[in-house]
Amino acid sequence: MSRILSTYNSELKLKGFNVFQIEKDGNATKAYSRKDFYKICLTTGKSRIHYADRSFDAEGTILFFGNPNIPYSWETLSIQYVGYTILFSEDFYTSGKHSETLQKSPLFKMGGTPILDISEHQRQFLNSIFQKMIEEQQSDYEHKDDLIRNYIDLILHESLKLKPSENYNQDKNGAERLTNVFMELLERQFPVESPDRPLLLRTAKDYAKDLSVHVNYLNRAVKEVTGKTTTTHISERITNEAKAILQHTNWNVSEIAYALGFEYPTYFNNFFKKQAGISPSSVRLEKV
């Protein structure tokens, strides 16, 4: 059963961010759409974190970086668990002078360093940053969004100096988690809305590179979980998109081929006939 999202989710989407103290703020347990927000947590306690195809056992103070494109879950193992959390959308972060994509950051990317061990000195410093963000969030300062973005940057830059946690193991459900990441990344490539914005990821190697895993590992995981190869999933999704474009737009075959990542229209025609059993022009003739 899916969770019913509270008004908190709407408020969060409207602002683009929210920062709170875990043990004191009810927002820590309110439902929100995790797919829309990056997450940075500074926590002290004992926990087990499942992130993509790995599991981390954490004790003491850690800094965690959650990517909305990568599935993760959190098991709290200690009675006392304290700290801070900030949620923010990529639109909020990049609406300032930030141009780099968060998904490429070593802290957020698949195969990156999502968990850092934090010393007591570092904890006090990071605590002060989170406290300043909470103060600004509650203020009427006209440029508080810019200031909060700067605080996020400060956390990110300080974090890049730190050594990532090595206390992890390959999750027994790693294949399923990696497959979920791949399927979500695949779906995020669609719909293709303009011939001028073609698919960025076309092959299994493209997806493996973007996910920072070896293509053979990705292929094994996807085949084990779904019974289909990575290439089959990609081909089926591109075929479905091609049908939708043929039926609902006036793009010519050359435009469709380019938009879907084919170098030449003949390559697209051959691909489509093999996948769909009919030619692109036949699908267009069926258009109502």
Which tens digits make up the pLDDT trace of 216-273?
Answer: 999 999 999 999 999 999 999 999 999 999 988 889 999 999 999 999 999 999 999 9
Tokens 């399927």 belong to residue:
183
C-alpha distances (whole Å) from 52 to each of 67, 211, 284 are: 10, 10, 40
pTM: 0.63
Check if the beta carbon of residue 71 is closer than 8 Å to that of residue 181: yes
Check if the beta carbon of residue 201 is closer than 8 Å to that of residue 69: no
Which tens digits make up the pLDDT trace of 167-207?
Answer: 555 555 778 888 888 888 898 888 888 888 899 899 999 99
Q: How far is CA 173 from the centre of its chain?
A: 19
Which tens digits make up the pLDDT trace of 73-121?
Answer: 788 887 777 899 999 998 899 876 655 667 667 788 766 778 899 999 9
Check if the beta carbon of residue 176 is closer than 8 Å to that of residue 61: no
The pLDDT of residue 268 is 95
